[in-house]
Amino acid sequence: MRHAHVKGGVPCMPLLSSAVVLCLFLSGCSGFPAAREMGDMALLRTLGVDTAAAGVAVTGSTGPRARGLQAEGEPALTLSADRASLSAACLAMQDQSDSFVFFGYVDQLLIGEALAEEGVRPVLDYFSRDAELGLGAQLWLVRGGSARDALAAGGDEGVDSRLETIQNDSKMGIASLTRTAGEVYADLLELGSAYVPALSPAGKGEAVLTERGYGILKGDVLAGCLEGEAARGLELLAGGTLADILDVELPESRASVRVTSACTKSCLVFQGDGLSVLRLTCKAEARLTEYERRPAGGELERLQAELEERERARIEAALKQLQAWGADCTGLGAAAGMFHPAGWQRIQVDWPERFSRVPVEITVQINLNS
Amino acid sequence: MSRRSEADAPHPRQEPRLPGALSLERLEEVFTDCADFAKREVYLHGDSARRAAVCYIDGQARSERLNDYVLRPLAQDPMLASVPEGELFGLMERGALYAHGAKRETELDPAVFALIDGSCALFLEGRDDCLIFPVATEEKRSVGEPENEPALKGARDSFVESLRTNTSLVRRRLRAPELKIKEHVVGRQSLTPVDVLWIDGIADPDTVALLEERLDAIDIDGVEAAGNLEEYLVDAARSPFPLMPFTQRPDRFCQGLLEGRVGLLADGLPLGWLLPGTIDQFFKTGQDRAYHWLAASALSVIRWLCALITLLVPGLYIALVTFHPEAIPPRLALSIVAAKQEVPFSTIFEVLIMLLAFEVIQEAGLRLPGPIGATVSILGGLVVGNAAVEAHIVSPAVLIAVAIAGVAGYTMPSQDFGNALRLWRFLLAILASLGGLTGMALGCAGLIVHLAGLESFGVPYLAPFTTGTRVPRGHPSLFRLPLPMMKWRDGPIQTQNRRNQK
């Protein structure tokens, strides 16, 4: 591949034309982005959305801020506005600050229970369309109060660090499952239902946000909430890492067991053209954490059986509620349908109704590492 | 050069420069007003009837050699006084004098240039021709360590200013007679010998011919700097990127010859070029083959990474902080916001000024003697930088970004390539100031187009990455494979024999 002459890369007309076309493509034919100095920005970290008489009430918090090289601490900046629409409220918040309010760092989205009962879709739509906001924010349902109250509960420190802690704990398996707005939105669009981790402020004054199970969205409205054993059952169905210790009373001693992982597989069993049963197999790994006397032999088997029974009861409690609401929010039907595409195609349209009625067989297998 | 019109073509170099027959008078006329021209008249063995004149250039000829090998036999050898005059000249040509060479000259031009090269001319009374004896001085800088390419594990000799010493350094390493050395003279006034070196049977004859053709086409006054050759041999004016990689190390030069490249050495320049130049050559060091292949590969990847860092970091900083803050991790963004609040200048201005300040400090450090240069660097880099941050003139993040880019640039083995990256760093920073990441992407696309358009002696500059499907490729450029696996010479440089080992 020899060339006759040594040439330099001199731009010529075709090259310039290509550069202009490339420029248009790169900029999405919308011109270059606008410049903005970061020193003049208030970075909102948490956004709360509630219903209000005017339409929606939006509250934003920056979290603790720093100023100058020594990073002297400044209290969290909290802005709020009630307007007919989310975009109007966000625009109104710009007027309340002496800095440019930047929404690009909102990674915690709190939704009040009242708004969830009316429907979360407009909020998720707005997040998906806005240039600064995105569906990567963690979504939380505030139970027993408004998102504005929950944000106020953080005081000068804000609530974003608490929410980040829960999020990180969840990844490590010591807090309940977390979900991004995108995951919830995708579930709502694909499954017709979704689960959202729920929080509520505990204590008076600067309260601490504590986990309170999961809110179940059907369509885009809040169908109900799962708490306690039912919430644990949902975690088993969702296959997330569990933040739970099971204390088991044995005939001659007691032991504490930690379920470290779980995986639930679903299977649709058809009889003729009709769906006869939804079979669930939950396999979990558990580890003995405490015991008075090391269980062995028959005692170990009894412990295992007790654990399996407890987990089965949890799944049943969760499924009972979910079937009552017709909300297959963990996608059991869709996952099973992948192995029976023809049968799934027949029942997919009215799956929520069928899910409410279908008999469920639950098998729990626990592998206990002593 | 090929584009020059006939009208613009330089007038041809006069050959011979001093036409006509040789005579002592004409020689003296040529060197009129030359204080270093010397003529010594001697009687052969004290016989005043037999006179000889020895001409030489003082400083070019070595006194000891002149005295011992020429003047002493002339004065003391009785045979010179006894033989018939007609045989005297022939006798001296064939060994009566002790010089290792003797050449009879009848033309003025070669005699003049022989004197300039350090020979002496012996004239006998009554004859116009002369005998030329090489008695040139060998005063020159001794072979030392390569300062720009230090060797931790390898040969420590370096090219010097003497061309013949340099060719001998190469010849000692490549003893095969296939090593060919062809000399050309460049420069109307400097008449600098420039040698083309290649290994016959390995190097591409077309590249050798092309190089020789271009060398012969150079018509300049003198070769006093590397650019006097580089800018005439390749189309360097259109690109800041170097197209002729060079080295100070004879071992690396020989390795290049073994890979099938064509070498170029010029008298007076302590370096050697290896042609054609492709981009990977500027990322290689003389130590690559000395280290373990894993370590050498890791270092090679780091160098490529540093090239990207030095090129992109300032522009990326401007683009992210000014146009796309959402792409910065939140905690870092909070730090930047906190530090930026009290800085009065825009980020764009900050970065461009800091880049400029970095170049100024570097240039000041280079121009001063070593210890003072280091002091200026410390004062400029640490004290002024720290003071600027504390006075809220610049934010610390900008200082860090510019410093990282600057330090990463120092990992480039080729200073020329590093300089090109520094220029493009400015350009990309300006484009990022105009259009954020879009401007950066556009600039990067432009850079790739520019690099893809470059060629060095007919070989694409990006050849290691962009050779066509019909062109045999060499070994990976980013990594250094174990040497037993590197059995092939680079395909794009068109070696005659691609296999380099069993």
What Å distances lie between residue B167 and A173, B21, B228, B269, B332, CA to CA?
70, 34, 20, 12, 56
CA–CA dist B119, B56 (Å, integer): 7
Whole-number pLDDT of residue B10: 54
Q: Are residues A301 and A216 in the same domain?
A: no
Are A2 and B458 within 8 A, CB to CB? yes
Structure tokens belonging to residue A241: 């890492």
Q: Kindly tell me the number of DSSP H helices and DSSP E strands found in chain A.
A: 12, 17
**Bond prior to B482 in cis (omega within 30° of 0):** no
Q: How many domains does chain A have?
A: 2
The predicted pLDDT at position B476 comes to 81
In this structure, of A289-298, B47-56, B191-200, B349-358, the range with the lowest mean pLDDT score is A289-298
- B315: which chain A residues are within 8 Å (Cβ-Cβ)? none
The answer to whether residue A4 scores a pLDDT higher than 60 is: no
In sequence order, what are the residues at sequence separation of 6 or more whose Cβ sits closer than 8 angstroms to the Cβ of residue B29? none
Q: Which positions in chain A touch B330 (Cβ < 8 Å)?
A: 43, 45, 105, 107
On the question of pLDDT at A7 being above 60, the answer is no
Q: Do B323 and A39 touch (CB under 8 A)?
A: no
Classified as helix, coil or strand, B175 is: coil
Q: How many of the other CB atoms lie within 10 Å of CB of B86? A: 7
Token pair in block for residue B166: 């340099």
Residue A27 lies in a domain: no
Select the more confidently predicted residue: A182 or A27.
A182
Residue B474 pLDDT greater than 80, yes or no: no
Q: Compute the C-alpha angle B398/B400/B405, nearest 5°.
A: 95
B94 vs A192, residue with greater confidence: A192
pLDDT in tens, A322-347: 999 999 999 999 999 998 888 898 88
A67-76, B261-270, B302-311, B414-423: least confidently modelled range = A67-76
Q: Which of A226, A245, A260 is the last residue of a domain?
A: A226
β-pairing, A274-291 vs A360-369, is parallel
Rounded to an integer, the average pLDDT of A235-254 is 80
In a domain, A26, yes or no: no
pLDDT, tens digit, 9 for 90 and up, residues B278-307: 999 999 988 888 899 999 999 999 999 999
Give which of B321, B368, B324, B379 is closest to B346, Cα–Cα: B321
* Alpha helices (runs of H) in A121-178, residue ranges in sequence order: 121-129, 147-152, 160-172
Stretch among A67-71, A117-121, B476-480 having the lowest mean pLDDT: A67-71
| ipTM rounded to 2 decimals | 0.72
Q: A324: domain range?
A: 232-369
Q: What percent of chain B has pLDDT over 70?
A: 96
Local confidence band at A95 (pLDDT 50, 70, 90 cut-offs): confident
Closest partner CB to A67 (pick from B239, B341, B437): B341
**Average pLDDT in the B74-82 region?**
83
Q: Would the pLDDT of B261 be above 80?
A: yes
Residue A349 lies in a domain: yes
Q: What is the pLDDT of residues B432-448, one digit of tens each?
A: 999 899 899 999 999 99
CA distances B126 to B51, B123, B298, Å, are 9, 9, 74
Q: Which residues of A120-159 are buried (b: 16+ CB within 10 A; e: fewer)?
A: bebbbebbeebeebbbebbbbbbbebbbbbbbbbbeeebb
For residues A55 and A176, membership in a common domain is answered with yes
| Residues A190 and A299 occupy one common structural domain | no
Task: Give me the mean pLDDT over the B181-209 stretch.
Answer: 93
Residues B436, A32: C-beta atoms closer than 8 Å: yes
Residues of B in contact with A4 (CB under 8 A): 458
Q: Is the pLDDT of residue A28 over 70?
A: no
Q: What is the CA radius of gyration of chain A?
A: 26
Q: Would the pLDDT of A6 be above 60?
A: no
Q: Is the pLDDT of residue B248 over 60?
A: yes
* Amino acid letter, residue A282: C
Question: A29 in a domain, yes or no?
Answer: no
Taking 50 as the threshold, does the pLDDT of residue B57 lie above it?
yes
Q: Are residues A251 and A106 in the same domain?
A: no
In B, minimum Cα distance to A131 occurs at B326
Helices and strands per DSSP (H, E), number in chain B:
18, 12
What span, in angstroms and rounded, lies between the C-alpha atoms of A101 and A94?
6
Cβ distance of B438 and A68 shorter than 8 Å: no
How near does any CA of chain A get to the CA of B236, in Å? 7
Angle of CA points B217, B221, B222, to nearest 5° = 95
Which residues in chain A have their CB less than 8 angstroms from residue B471's CB? 1
Residue pLDDT, tens place only, B160-174: 999 999 999 999 999
**Are residues A77 and A191 both part of a single domain?**
yes
A211-236 confidence digits (pLDDT tens): 889 999 998 899 999 998 899 899 99
Query: How far, in whole angstroms, is CA A90 from its chain's centroid?
Result: 23
A180 and A112 assigned to the same domain: yes
Alpha-carbon distances of A198 from A44, A59, A80, A201, A344, rounded to whole Å? 21, 18, 22, 11, 32
pLDDT higher than 80, residue A29? no
Under the banding of pLDDT at 50, 70 and 90, the label for residue A26 is low
Q: What is the pLDDT of residue B9?
A: 57
CA atoms within 13 A on the CB side of A289: 12
Does a structural domain hold residue A173?
Answer: yes
**Whole-number pLDDT of residue A71:** 54
Do the domain assignments include residue A14? no
- A135, A182 contact by CB (below 8 A): yes
Instruction: Give the residue among B66, B52, B55, B60 at the shortest CA–CA distance from B31.
Output: B55
Distances (CA, A) of B85 to B39, B49, B99: 22, 11, 21
Of A10, A32, A65, the CB nearest to B435: A32
Q: Are residues A245 and A341 in the same domain?
A: yes
User: CB within 8 A of A84, min separation 6: which ones?
Assistant: A54, A55, A56
Do B334 and A66 lie within an 8 Å CB cutoff? yes
Say whether pLDDT at B314 is over 90. Answer: yes
Q: Do A19 and B442 touch (CB under 8 A)?
A: yes
- DSSP H stretches of helix in A10-112: 13-26, 86-96
Query: Per the CB < 8 Å rule, is B324 touching A33?
Result: yes
Q: How confident is the model at residue B502 (pLDDT cuts 50, 70, 90)?
A: confident
Count of Cβ atoms closer than 10 Å to residue B363 Cβ = 11
pLDDT of A8 higher than 50: no
Last residue of a domain, one of A174, A195, A226: A226
Same domain, A283 and A198: no
Chain A residues whose CB is inside 8 A of the B385 CB are: none
Q: Is the peptide bond before A359 cis (omega within 30 degrees of 0)?
A: no
pLDDT at A23: 67
**Looking at the domain assignment, is residue A126 inside a domain?**
yes
The two beta strands, B192-199 and A108-112, are: unpaired
- The answer on pLDDT for B340 being more than 80 is yes
A101-159 pLDDT, tens per residue? 899 889 899 999 999 999 999 999 999 988 888 899 999 999 988 899 888 887 777 78
The model's confidence at residue B11, banded by pLDDT at 50, 70 and 90, is low
Do A206 and A115 lie in a common domain?
A: yes
Q: Choose among A3, A11, A43: nearest Cβ to B337.
A: A43
CA angle B210, B214, B218 (to 5 degrees): 170
- The residue count of chain A comes to 370
Same domain, A160 and A245: no
Best probe of the A interface among B341, B342, B433, by most A CBs < 10 A, is B341
Across A237-246, A267-276, A350-359, B296-305, the highest mean pLDDT is recorded for B296-305
A17 — contact with chain B (CB < 8 Å)?
Answer: no
Determine the residue of chain B that is closest to A67 in CA distance. B338
* Domain finish residue from A177, A204, A226: A226
Residue with tokens 């060994």: B95
Same domain for A240 and A220, yes or no, is: no
pLDDT class of A204 with cuts at 50, 70, 90? low
DSSP B268: T
Residues whose CB is less than 8 angstroms from the CB of residue A212 and which lie 6 or more positions away in sequence, other chains included: A143, A144, A198, A199, A200, A225, A227
State the average pLDDT for chain A. Answer: 85
Within-domain flag for A24: no
- The CATH number given to whatever domain includes residue A271 is 3.30.300.210
Q: Contacts of residue B468 in chain A, CB cutoff 8 Å?
A: 1
Confidence at B49, pLDDT banded by 50, 70, 90: confident
**Closest-CA residue of chain A to B469:** A1
Q: Give the chain B residue whose CA is nearest to the CA of A3.
A: B458
Which segments of A186-337 are extended strands (E)? 193-202, 208-218, 221-226, 245-249, 254-271, 274-291
Higher pLDDT, residue A255 or B273 = B273
* H or E element at residue A112: strand A108-112
Statement to judge: residues A177 and A48 lie in one domain: yes
Of the candidates B339, B392, B439, which has its C-beta nearest A32's C-beta?
B439
**A5 interaction partners in chain B (CB closer than 8 Å):** 2, 455
Res B420: pLDDT: 95
Predicted confidence (pLDDT) per residue in A341-358, tens digit: 888 988 888 898 999 989
Residue the block writes with tokens 């996608």: A331
pLDDT value for B268: 92
